[in-house]
Amino acid sequence: MNNMHPYRYVFLDLDDTLWDFHANARLSLQKMYEQQALNRYFENFEEFFQIYARRNIELWEMYGKGEITKEFLMSERFRYPLAKMGLDDLQLAEAIGKQYLEILPEQTSLLPFARELLDYLYPKYPLTLISNGFVEVQYKKLKSCRIEHYFSHVVLSEQAGALKPDREIFNYALRLNQATPEEAIMIGDSFSADIEGAKNAGIDQIYLQRNNLLSYTGQHATFIVKSLQEVFSIL
């Protein structure tokens, strides 16, 4: 442990920082695809997944900017692939979306060293989770993975009234902990949401950069790691 740093509180993102969203979401979509017999409309799962994934990324970017509602995101990401196949059925899209959100939080894959990192940090710092994810699923994910007990606070955007990278969600977490920005550090995989958001709130950052390229050229974080294992040497 580095005793030279000023940090007393650790903030963490959930999806693709601790919880393996990519793997868990794909598995959930496969289960939903089979249960809903979507092979009636698509040549195979991969065709559906590629259409869905592209649209889902676009919608989450719009949601993060406050351009669309949560409800629109939840239905549109499934309405769009169906419409691409000539089936414009909002009722079916909503049913699929509901089932997906039931299956998704049951998945339990964590990123490498996620549990080990939580075990390491838990005795040393109050841990706060900060996520833009939906209330309906984020608490269930924590429970399914048996990691909810690590966190002193869980801050979700719907409850805080602000989405990352809005500095207000980070200020909300600081107030809960009665902490100053200088005392906290944020760990996350999204440069725009986690790193820039924390930076705007005056909080240092650990950027989990799992690919080889910076999300935004010329931007920097307080610390950059390729794996959660590297965080041990920082904190």
Give a yes or no: residue 54 inside a domain. yes
What pTM does this model have? 0.91
Q: For position 211, what pLDDT does the model report? A: 72
* pLDDT at residue 212, as a whole number: 57
CATH number at residue 200: 3.40.50.1000
Residues 63 and 98 in one domain: yes
Same domain, 205 and 143: yes
- Beta-bridged to residue 204, according to DSSP, are 185
The model's confidence at residue 5, banded by pLDDT at 50, 70 and 90, is confident
What average pLDDT does the segment 111-127 reach? 98
213 has a pLDDT exceeding 90:
no
Same domain, 37 and 125: no
Number of domains making up the chain: 2
Task: Round the average pLDDT of the chain to a whole number and report it.
Answer: 93
Residue-wise pLDDT for 40-92, tens only, equals 999 999 999 999 999 999 999 999 888 999 999 999 999 999 999 999 899 99
Q: What stretches of the chain show up as alpha helix (H) in DSSP? A: 21-35, 45-64, 70-84, 90-103, 114-121, 135-144, 157-160, 167-177, 196-200
